[in-house]
Amino acid sequence: MTISTSANESQISSIMIVGGGSAGWLTAGILAARYGQTMSVTLVESPDVKIIGVGEGTWPTMKGTLKEMGISETDFFRECDASFKHGAKFAKWVSGDEADYYYHPLMLPQDFTKTNLAPCWLKNNGDRSFSESVCFQEALCERALAPKTVTMPEYNSAANYAYHLNAGKFTKFLTRHCTSKLNVKHKLATISEVLKSEDGGIRYVKTTDGQELVADLFVDCTGMASLLLGKTLGVEFIDKNDSLFIDRALAAQKPYESEEEPILPYTVSTAQKAGWIWDIGLTSRRGIGHVYSSKHTSEAEAEKALSDYIGPVFKGLSVKKISIRSGHREIFWKHNCVAIGLSAGFLEPLEASALMLIEISAKFVRDQLPETRNTMPIIARRFNKTMTYHWERIIDFLKLHYVLSKRDDSDFWIDNRCPNTIPDSLAELLELWKYHTPYRQDFSHKEEVFPAASYQYVLYGMGFQTEVSNRHVESTDDAYRAAVAENERMVSKAVELLPDNRQLLQKINRFGMTAF
């Protein structure tokens, strides 16, 4: 007796990623590292579409992603102009003065999983910043030290780190690795038409040369065009420019003045009158760009601010102009199509969340990949709920930086503090934190994209006032003093052990690291 199997009950055996760039190739690598030998993973991209190529900051999650894909960290550094990142330095965000800065490091405060040190710091801080008091990573940034030594194996370190990278070279590097090591099939073709099936999903994509490309699951990595999820399946875009005003960017690449110029192991974000300037040091050059609100300044004024920051060499540099529409799709997975990367949405690059969102989206698909079309709606609902939560929390965290500013030198900063531009969820937390410091119980998800520690670094880096009562001091003064003393010991040890960032990067490129 033969039992027939419906289309919905058939096993998922093929995945097609439509679109390349960082989103397409990171997704391909993450999926193929798990499924490349057991199912078909294909990436189709148009040779005519240019990538934006300015997403140069990552999170520490990228280390695990590269390692899971079987990538040599030495090769990654050599081929992607990569450098180390300890976190971010925010300059002129509070008052606009030259001495105004704070750090958001990539390490938790001392004993954070056991003790909340923030209440005691608020009562005892003196002249030391919160991050300087509770995290030794600020000291590494101030001295431009690397997070490891050349003898430490790949992906191992004395301090947690992320990367700065050349986005264009990174995409080419991933392309080679995925196609040669992970069995990803690569098709260069331009999509001319997307055909829907009877159930409303994607049946196949048709190329200009007549190919009809079929798959069980389609991943939309077509960038802001959102060709599959947006245009074909009609999923609406939710605009967030009412909260996040940044809608333009001017990007340039500045050569180092000499081979001795420090390569800063952190991203610098310097506030301007109508936005801010990023400064990212790679091994080969600095990526510098000005993101701004076109409602609060003109392109000419924004370019003048960027020119003043870069200096006289600006006249000889090529400047890329980018439009930004902050927001995300109403849902991210519909029928047999899931959007990852710019096709899902985009938020201004403050805190470098773009590549991280690609990673967590692709890993969710990898870990929850349905066995059959029958269970796909269940997975899709869970994915949509999780990713909507993450997008909303990122918006809250980005807006936090603007809300806490005391700058009143332009309408941009004043307008950012208007209550009707602040998400209700953030306003509620700020009210709560007037009386107790952020900690783990304030957040509902086990894996937050920005943990309570990140909120502490930004809140108290920007001078937020919490009225701490004795009943809310969760760590004793003795425990606080012990943690601060331990942090100072770690600073002394790290300064003695760790090399200059530029010097280590030169050694890695010359000698490599011990394989993981």
3-state secondary structure of 89: strand
CB 204 within 8 A of CB 314: no
The closest alpha carbon to 65, from 170, 180, 217, belongs to: 170
With cut-offs at 50, 70 and 90, classify the pLDDT of residue 472.
low
CB 330 within 8 A of CB 233: no
In angstroms, rounded to a whole number, what is the distance separating the alpha carbons of residues 396 and 14?
Answer: 37
468 in a domain, yes or no? no
3-state secondary structure of 381: helix
Could you tell me the CATH number of the domain that includes residue 26? 3.50.50.60
Residue 445 carries which side chain, given as an amino acid letter?
H
50 in a domain, yes or no? yes
Among the candidates 339, 374, 393, a domain finishes at 393
3-state secondary structure of 192: strand
Q: DSSP strand E in 247-325: where?
A: 248-254, 267-272, 275-281, 286-292, 320-323
- Identify the domain containing residue 296 by its residue range: 247-323
334 plus 237 within the same structural domain: yes
337 plus 232 within the same structural domain: yes
In angstroms, rounded to a whole number, what is the distance separating the alpha carbons of residues 263 and 276?
Answer: 20
Number of domains in the chain: 2
Average pLDDT over residues 470-478: 66
260 plus 384 within the same structural domain: no
The closest alpha carbon to 498, from 163, 142, 60, 76, belongs to: 142
pLDDT at 479: 85
Query: 172 exposed, middle or buried (CB, 10 Å; 0-12, 13-18, 19+)?
Result: middle
Residue 475 has pLDDT above 60, yes or no: no
306 in a domain, yes or no? yes
292 in a domain, yes or no? yes
Token pair belonging to 24? 């397409």
pLDDT at 54: 56
Average pLDDT over residues 139-161: 97
The closest alpha carbon to 324, from 276, 286, 358, 279, belongs to: 276
238 plus 353 within the same structural domain: yes
In angstroms, rounded to a whole number, what is the distance separating the alpha carbons of residues 15 and 32?
Answer: 10
Residue 469 has pLDDT above 60, yes or no: yes
Interstrand relation of 202-207 and 275-281 (parallel, antiparallel or unpaired): unpaired
44 plus 184 within the same structural domain: yes
pLDDT at 190: 95
177 plus 312 within the same structural domain: no
Given phi > 0 = left and psi -120 to 50 = alpha, else beta, which region is 155?
Answer: left
pLDDT tens-place string over residues 176-231? 999 999 999 999 999 999 999 999 999 999 999 999 999 999 999 999 999 999 99
pLDDT at 379: 97
45 in a domain, yes or no? yes
Angle at 443 between CA 441 and CA 446, to 5 degrees: 95
311 plus 280 within the same structural domain: yes
315 plus 195 within the same structural domain: no
Residue 74 has pLDDT above 70, yes or no: yes
Q: How many CA atoms lie within 13 A of 266 on its CB side?
A: 26
pLDDT at 60: 97
pLDDT at 127: 82
174 plus 313 within the same structural domain: no
The closest alpha carbon to 401, from 445, 482, 347, belongs to: 347
381 plus 252 within the same structural domain: no
193 plus 298 within the same structural domain: no
194 in a domain, yes or no? yes
pLDDT at 432: 94
pLDDT at 471: 63
Could you tell me the CATH number of the domain that includes residue 264? 3.30.9.100
pTM over 0.75: yes
318 plus 171 within the same structural domain: no
Token pair belonging to 197? 């099936």
7 in a domain, yes or no? no
In angstroms, rounded to a whole number, what is the distance separating the alpha carbons of residues 80 and 88?
Answer: 21
Q: Which residue has the tokens 């425990």?
A: 479
Residue 159 has pLDDT above 90, yes or no: yes
The closest alpha carbon to 486, from 212, 149, 109, belongs to: 109
448 in a domain, yes or no? no
Mean pLDDT of the chain: 94
pLDDT at 8: 59
In angstroms, rounded to a whole number, what is the distance separating the alpha carbons of residues 80 and 282?
Answer: 9
Among the candidates 298, 323, 348, a domain finishes at 323
With cut-offs at 50, 70 and 90, classify the pLDDT of residue 1.
very low
With cut-offs at 50, 70 and 90, classify the pLDDT of residue 440.
confident
Among the candidates 345, 362, 393, a domain finishes at 393
In angstroms, rounded to a whole number, what is the distance separating the alpha carbons of residues 303 and 237?
Answer: 29
Residue 368 has pLDDT above 50, yes or no: yes
